[in-house]
Amino acid sequence: MTTRPTKRSVRVAARVHEVLMEMLLRGEIRDRHAQGALISRVEMSDDLRHTRVYLRLLDGNAPPRRRDALVRAMNAAKGFVRRELGARLELKYTPDLVFFWDEGVDRVLRVEQLLEEIRADEKIPGPEGEGGAA
């Protein structure tokens, strides 16, 4: 069985993710609002010129004001981040970066919470009650 090669944009996005996380972990982005930030995912256009970077915080229960401050801080630092990416990735063009709060995790948690409420109301056993004794 042969494996299909990964699109170049996916490979470069993975490398951008690694470099950005390394920069955050080493404290290279000095804005205090960027502390505790994680890169949850990176999406890159096929021409490698545009990148969407999705952010989360270690503290998953951060208030919206804190989330907005993180996104603003990262967008404000994007000139520095682009220069560093250009030097480390050695691409023909350094991609334009736009930072966003990753709401996907919040949505999943909300759906799980709603399902738990439904189970509690209807007294339906949860996943831990399925399957019987081993």
**41-71 confidence digits (pLDDT tens):** 999 999 999 999 999 998 777 888 999 999 9
The pTM of this model reads 0.76
Tokens of 71: 């996104």
Q: Check residue 134 and give its pLDDT.
A: 45
Give the other-Cβ count within 10 Å of 70's Cβ.
23
Q: Check residue 74 and give its pLDDT.
A: 96
Average pLDDT over residues 90-95: 89
Q: Check residue 118 and give its pLDDT.
A: 84
Residue 122 identity (one-letter amino acid): E
Average pLDDT over residues 7-31: 94
Q: Check residue 123 and give its pLDDT.
A: 72
The CATH class of the 8-125 domain is alpha beta
Average pLDDT over residues 31-43: 93
CA distances in angstroms from 32 to 26, 39, 76, listed in the order given: 13, 16, 12
C-alpha–C-alpha distance, residues 33 and 66, integer Å: 8
